[in-house]
Structures are given as C-alpha cells and as structure tokens.
Amino acid sequence: MKSICKKYADKFHNSEQKKNLRWIKNLRNAKNISRINNVEKISLTDPESRFIKNKKGRIELGYNTQLTVDYKKGIIIANDVCQDRNDSHQLKPQLKLVEQYCGQLKESTKICADSGYMNEKNIQLLKQKNLDPYIPERTDKNNIKKVKIRKKESIFHVSSFIYDEQKDVYICPENQILKYYYEFYDKKRSLIRRVYRGINCRDCKSNQQCTNRNDRTRQLMVNRLSPDRKCLNEKMSTAKAQRIFEERKYTVEPVIGNYKQNLKFREFITRGLNSVKNEFNLVCAAINLKKVWLYSNNTNS
C-alpha cells in the first residue's frame, strides 16, 4: 500500500512540476512579447491577442477582422486579421490585398469605408491612386445628445463662434476674440487639434454663461484639417455622397451580419495570429463559395 501511495504521490508531484514549468515558460514568453510590442497587458493563453473594445463598449481579448466586399455581388475580395485596436491603419493593407487579387483598381473607383478609417494618410493614399473616397468624419456618439442639448440651451456653443481664416482667430457672440494658443495630436481621432483662448473674457458681461473654467477664460478646441480632409468633409455633406455611403448597408454590413448572426461565427476557436487568419479565411471562402453557387444557379435557371 505504501508503494502504491508513493507511486501516485511522485506522479502528482511530477505533473505539478511540469505544470509550473509550463506556466513559467508562458510568463516569460508573455513578458518578451509585452516588451517587444510595447503592450501593457498580455494574455497567457494567447499572447498574440489584444484587449480590444467591442461594439458594446466592453474590453475583451480578441483580434481585429478586416473585410473588403465587391459592390455588385457582395463577394469578399479581401480579408485579414490584425492586432490593431482600431481600423485607421488598415486601409492600405486592404487595398494592397485587393490589387494583389483583382489587379490595379480603375481610376475614380468608389471606396466606401466607415469613420474608423478617416485620417490624412488614408486620404492622401486614395488621392495618389486616383480613387474616389467616401469616408465620414469621426463623431463621438456618446456626446452627440449632450452637444445638441447644449446647443439649444446656450448661444455660446462652439457652433456660434465665427472663424476668421486670415487672422486665425475665433470671434464669440459677444464680439470677443479668441487667439490661437497651441496644438496637439489627438491619438484617439488621429488628427491635430488646435486650442484657442479668449483675450478679455474676464471683463465680458456673459462670462458666467460662456465658460465654467476656473480662470474664467473661454477655450475652444477645434480640429486642424488638411485641405484634402476639408474637401472630403464637404463632399460627404452632400446628399449624393451620403446616398453612396449608405449603400454599405447593402454590401459590407450584410456579409458581417451573415457570418455573425446566421453562421454564429462570433469568436475564434484557434489561438495565435496566423491560425486565426487561416480560420477567418476559411469562413470567408465558405461564404463566397455559397454565393457563387447561388449566382450560378440563378443564372442557369
């Protein structure tokens, strides 16, 4: 009996030792990945995954999937998986894949992308390729209602301030001047923001209604847009551009909704970036094969 107990005790001890060694190895691997990629938090089960905010605003471990869909048939012509927490740097890789699979895009080809892809580099890239972009400006959806309320309640909303482009100053509803103070890069919106401050705000009769700052000086924070970005914003404000952009609802969005809702593909079952890419590629291939089969049957009938 003692020999049997000793045998199982040794086996348990060895298995625990191997388990501890495996965890130590995983910790060292995660530490190296964290140091190389400059990432603060790493998953021990899948070190190549990243903490990403989902559509519901929750932070969870995962990957960022990318899709490019043909307008006429809804065929997926390019797909990829990346570790980026947002889409701002993924337009160029997607265009590269599209041209690799489908050849050089014709001039004035319409490119529709959501606001996550809006930045100066992407606009310049599309301009260099003579493509026709339709990308809306980013908006803070959480503050839209608050902004509307403030705009109704106060005449000192930012929209009531007039910009003098020649002097580079803003003029408030009380004809007071706000001069340029400094600018900084907003990583969240991928653009440069400029700060303007009032000169004689303390002597203004509407000071209490205009600002809540401790120094009683009104401050405006506005986006510094490049000429190309201004031009794109003006185009996106037209009814024609908005109608073209809304067609994404019938091209890209149904594809995403199909594999999430109908095929129940909401999470990866493999680990590691390369394995996840292969898994997503198989899903996209299956979707395309079904569409090709449906289109061929409709054509024959």
Q: Domain check: are 247 and 221 in the same one? A: no
Q: Domain check: are 93 and 224 in the same one? A: no
- Number of compact structural domains in the chain: 3
Q: Domain check: are 77 and 193 in the same one? A: no
* CATH code for the domain of 113: 3.30.420
Out of 168, 199, 228, pick the residue that ends a domain. Answer: 228
Q: Domain check: are 70 and 17 in the same one? A: no
Out of 182, 205, 228, pick the residue that ends a domain. Answer: 228
Out of 209, 228, 247, pick the residue that ends a domain. Answer: 228
Q: Domain check: are 264 and 185 in the same one? A: no
- Residue 9 is encoded by which pair of tokens? 């005790």
Q: Domain check: are 146 and 220 in the same one? A: yes
Please tell me the predicted confidence (pLDDT) of residue 119.
87
Please tell me the predicted confidence (pLDDT) of residue 38.
65
Instruction: Report how far apart, in Å, the C-alpha atoms of 35 and of each of 22, 61, 85 are.
Output: 20, 18, 18
Q: Domain check: are 66 and 194 in the same one? A: no
Q: Please give the average pLDDT of every successive group of 10 residues along the chain, which has 301 residues.
A: 49 55 63 64 80 81 93 92 91 95 93 91 94 86 44 69 90 92 83 90 88 90 85 92 91 90 91 95 95 83 60
Please tell me the predicted confidence (pLDDT) of residue 67.
93
Please tell me the predicted confidence (pLDDT) of residue 143.
44
Q: Domain check: are 40 and 89 in the same one? A: no
Q: Domain check: are 244 and 125 in the same one? A: yes
Q: Domain check: are 92 and 114 in the same one? A: yes
What range defines the domain where residue 189 resides? 141-228
Q: Domain check: are 257 and 127 in the same one? A: yes
Instruction: Report how far apart, in Å, the C-alpha atoms of 13 and of each of 9, 10, 20 are.
Output: 6, 5, 11
Please tell me the predicted confidence (pLDDT) of residue 242.
93
Bridge partner residues of 111 (DSSP): 133
- Fill in the DSSP letter of residue 54: -
Instruction: Report how far apart, in Å, the C-alpha atoms of 76 and of each of 71, 222, 280, 285 are.
Output: 10, 38, 12, 8
Q: Domain check: are 126 and 247 in the same one? A: yes
Confidence (pTM): 0.72
For the chain, strand residue ranges (E) read 50-53, 59-62, 64-69, 76-82, 110-112, 132-134, 162-164, 169-171, 177-186, 191-198, 219-224
